[in-house]
Structure 1
Amino acid sequence: MKTERAKEILLNLLKIPSPSGSEDRIALHIMEFLHKLDYDVHIESDGEIIDLVVNPDAELFYEVHMDTIPMRAEPFVRGNIVYGTGASDIKGGIAAILLMLEELKKEDKDLNVGIVFVSDEEHGGRGSALFMERYRPKMAVVLEPTDLEVHIAHAGNIEAYFEVDGKEAHGACPESGINAIDQTFKMLEELKKLEPFNAKGKYFDAHIGLQELVCDNPYYLIPALCRGRVEARLLPDQEVEDILDLMEPIFEEYTLKYEYTEIWDGYELEPDEEIVVLAKKAMEATEIDEFGGMRSWTDAINFVYNGTRTIVFGPGNLDISHTKNEHIDVRDVVTASEFLKALNEIFGKS
């Protein structure tokens, strides 16, 4: 039964910790799986990053990352639900690809697409960057948790680390100090008022918020320094440079210093683009009927920036990814595998 086989493949992947920078064991496991099926595996490496490539001359590639965040939850099973760090992001996607490859061999069918398993997506995206330095496929499917939606749009992003300073005073004398926490929230209120962050989108809305805030204050004091990280999600048609021009005067007013650590534009594919048309046919063949937009950074950005037209698709739920409650329904893994298999066949006939 496919669900039981999917569960077995996924559990074997989850039992191997693979936080960013420690993908060697999971890469070896995947290589052994592929070699048993008689697939040739090309290893791409720059001495630090490892990518595994199958069918390197293909014009359409399926890409999935092997790394996860550091382990937060051990794997376990309840019925068809598999729990554990990486279950949703994105070892369920790896399992879908491996199940597809196994099915193709059983049915003696050709693999018409390329496959690449990359490292370092959760940390810096160096695995997909390395792949795109050496290969330039025409089209790609990047596997990420999309709840089986086919994402033809992708958010842009701005991430900035900052320090906000105030003036230290005794905790009982707030009028004598300047509270750095208060100043940080005043800054955030100003950022939230900016028009771009109140824009509504087709698949998601623009947003800005704090994702990290640290204020060391071991004594009874008005805090004089806060460090933090602000994260902005942009609509596909919003230009990063235009928004930076609006943000920077606010940063200049409130912060001691700030540094952008992520800046990228989003994108949206046109309905008549080849990869979208192919995906529509595979959707019809597998009763998947939802398009959507990816809200988080993915390797798709590295692909699109280098000219590869890319959709994002996969089993799993982005909302619960990285949480202690991360889990996936293996029936969705099977459905994802069937979509990828259908797309492989449709592309082979195109």
Structure 2
Amino acid sequence: MPETPSTPADLLAHLVAIDSANPDLVPGGAGETAIADHCGQWLAARGFAVHRLEQRPGRPSLVAVAHGTGNGRSLMLNGHLDTVSLTGYDGDPLAPQIRDGQMHGRGTYDMKGGIAAMMVAATRATAAGALRGDVILALVADEEHASCGTAEVLRSFTADAAVVTEPSNLEVTLAHKGFAWFDVDIAGRAAHGSRPELGIDAIVKAGHFLVALEKLGRRLAQGAAHPLLGTGTLHASLIRGGEEPSTYPAHCRVTLERRTVPGENADSVEQELTALLDHLSATVPDFGYRLTRGLHREPFEADPEALIVKALSRHAHAVLGHPPVVRAEPYWTDCALLDGAGIPCLLFGVRGEGAHAATEYVDLASLDHLTDILTATITDFCS
């Protein structure tokens, strides 16, 4: 059995020392197997029924359940086991160091701190065995890339509510943006550079599209804003085209990202881009295109009157001594998948800094506060 930690910080130190870099982001990355093994043993030793889901070999997610006595509300706590790359970290990313009330190391903030807090909180809340509802811990793979872990969990498990323990500076996060990726392939015609009458320059044609894209971005910025998230945004991420200096390029691809707010989705973005490109086809000579939708995730917005939002906010107020700040995040999280599956949820996690950065740390006092808030929320919601 794994060594028994006495505090969330002790457990976090164990988790940080396990390499769980996402191999979809880092070729040869360790993945989630070792950390899932550790967490599974830790939870099983404390009476949780541990289910291992591994549709993709080497990319396991765990669902650990403490069954209630019956006729109570179930609560899922969700957090991801994977981290981004260890390369480029300032120091040893797998050797947690405590300085000035902060623990430094890869994943301390994003988000092994949240994992440690929810594991300890669930253990404390269920120790007496008096809860009526089930407590469900979803420790998932792959959130840093395509969220295959939470998607796999939701095919087999549900709950009456959920809390995602991504870092939020102990602020109640009730909304976040979505995103949609698109490829725009712009057609030209190859010809020798000395024969302009035969060639169509796909890169030059792409320039018309990039100018139109910039204008669309300005219109979005001036449009109606979501009260927490502001407006959607748009940028060109990649451009590829051409063969050599002496040839008219027959093809140019622009990859773009559109960040969406509630009320927008991948379908509405595709319609927006199609209208822009059709206008260019009608007004720019020899402009031809193909639009292809890539990975997309929808935005998220919680109901502020949901029982789980009210319960967690109440206990956050009690622990922190003041009403928690209500906020939104510009980045995407697994909250959107949970909400899409009909599970009311919110995001609430630790203070710290350095997600995906060369240095990363969690404020240890916030880790204790998070554990206390989650413990009280579980006990309240599942009683």
Short-chain TM bin: 0.7 to 0.9
> Which sits farther off after the overlay, 284-293 or 238-247?
238-247
Q: How does 1:117-196 map to 2 (within 5 A)?
A: 117-164=139-186, 179=204, 182-183=207-208, 185-195=210-220
In the TM superposition, residue 4 of structure 1 has moved relative to its aligned partner by 9.2
Residue number among 336, 340, 344 corresponding to 2:374 in the alignment: 340
CA contact (8 A) 2:258 2:269 kept: no
Task: Give 3-state SS (helix, strand or coil) of 1:37's partner.
Answer: coil
Task: Give 3-state SS (helix, strand or coil) of 2:356's partner.
Answer: coil
Gaps of 5+ in 1: 171-175
Q: Does 1:84 align with 2:113?
A: no
State the match for 2:299 in structure 1: 266
State the match for 1:98 in structure 2: 119
Q: Does 1:54 align with 2:56?
A: no
CA contact (8 A) 1:146 1:315 kept: yes
- Cα distance per residue 1:277-312 (max 9 Å; x no partner): 222222222225111223322222221111111111
Gaps of 5+ in 2: 24-30, 68-72, 194-199, 281-286
CA contact (8 A) 1:282 1:342 kept: yes
Q: Does 1:232 align with 2:258?
A: yes
State the match for 2:42 in structure 1: 33
In the TM superposition, residue 121 of structure 1 has moved relative to its aligned partner by 1.7
In the TM superposition, residue 197 of structure 1 has moved relative to its aligned partner by 7.1
- Cα distance per residue 1:205-261 (max 9 Å; x no partner): 223243632547897689956545322222223354334322223345478444222
CA, structure 1 residues 15+216, in 2 after alignment: closer, same or farther (shift >3 Å)?
A: farther
Residue number among 220, 225, 234 corresponding to 1:200 in the alignment: 225
Q: Distance in 2 between matches of 1:135 and 1:95?
A: 21
Letter matched to residue 231 of structure 2: A
Identity of aligned residues (%): 22
State the match for 1:314 in structure 2: 349
TM-score normalised to the size of structure 2? 0.75
Letter matched to residue 20 of structure 1: N
Kindly name which structure, 1 or 2, has the bigger radius of gyration based on alpha carbons.
2
CA contact (8 A) 1:282 1:346 kept: no
CA contact (8 A) 1:156 1:234 kept: yes
TM-score normalised to the size of structure 1? 0.82
RMSD over aligned Cα atoms: 3.5
State the match for 1:16 in structure 2: 18
CA contact (8 A) 2:241 2:253 kept: no
In the TM superposition, residue 110 of structure 1 has moved relative to its aligned partner by 5.2
CA, structure 1 residues 120+223, in 2 after alignment: closer, same or farther (shift >3 Å)?
A: farther
**Which one has a larger percent helix, Structure 1 or Structure 2?**
1
CA contact (8 A) 2:183 2:255 kept: yes
Q: Distance in 1 between matches of 2:290 and 2:97?
A: 47
